[in-house]
Amino acid sequence: MKVISSLDDAKSFINDHKSDETISLIPTMGNIHSGHLKLINSASSSSLKIVSIYVNELQFDDRNDYISYPRTLADDLSICEDNNVDLVFAPDNSVICKQLDSDKNDLPKFTSYMCGANRPGHFSGVFRIVKFLFKIIEPNYAYFGKKDFQQLLLVKYIASTYFPKLKIIDVDTVRDSNNIALSSRLSKVSRESLHQVKLIFQTLMIMKKKLLSGLEYNDVKESSLLDLEDNNISVEYLDLRSLETLKEQVNINHPCGIFIACYIDNIRLIDNIEI
């Protein structure tokens, strides 16, 4: 496995391989867990597997969140090597910031919903780094998880708009034995609070069952919010939205899902479930 931090070295490596190998890209911010491993292992074993590790400052609306984001590069590299990754691109922040496209305006409307409404600049930061990585790595395939569903739609928009030959592969959310969606931020939640985290997906499952039985979403949402808040879970949003446009829905007549963002131990967690 090769580890590269230089932009020029990364370009050289890609140029040496792109003519005769299929390139699979798995973008991460490090702190690699089983969710990332599913992305890595979803890529074809015959392709050149490239994992990028970069904590993107631009997508953090809270400076303290960026500073405290878990960074475990040595462990990440070991995990990547054990899982047959060919190249880890782990650039320095100063290198990236000089290269990023300054265009912040080409964002689809759905980025103003949900996380976009509450995290100023977040999706602009995602847009800029993802577009940069696609331009530098020139992958044939890129792998993203469904847990960050709004981000996934943005990534698909970037690919279809600027990189039409690139295929985005979405991968189902990885959950532990308690159906908790794995994430890097989960490691910051105290052990004592994990019983609260379990309630997130449990609540989504209950809501889905009620909707399928014919209950109105507003009634289901109201009771679910009360249950969550009674368990000291602060809810940022709990929405029924289209899987295609992320517009709010009042019923389940079209493909839709329930999306949640909430705080436990002051840690922001998200999840979703398709109906």
Active-site positions read: 36
User: Closest by alpha carbon to 76, among 21, 136, 26?
Assistant: 26
238 token code pair? 């709990």
Long-range contacts of 12-17 (CB under 8 A, 24+ apart): 13/87, 14/136, 14/137, 14/138, 17/48
CA quadruple 117, 176, 133, 29: dihedral, nearest 10? 80
Q: CA-CA distance, 106 to 127, in Å (whole number)?
A: 9
9 token code pair? 């070295």
Three-state DSSP at 84 gives coil
Compute φ and ψ for 27, nearest 5 degrees. Answer: -75, 135
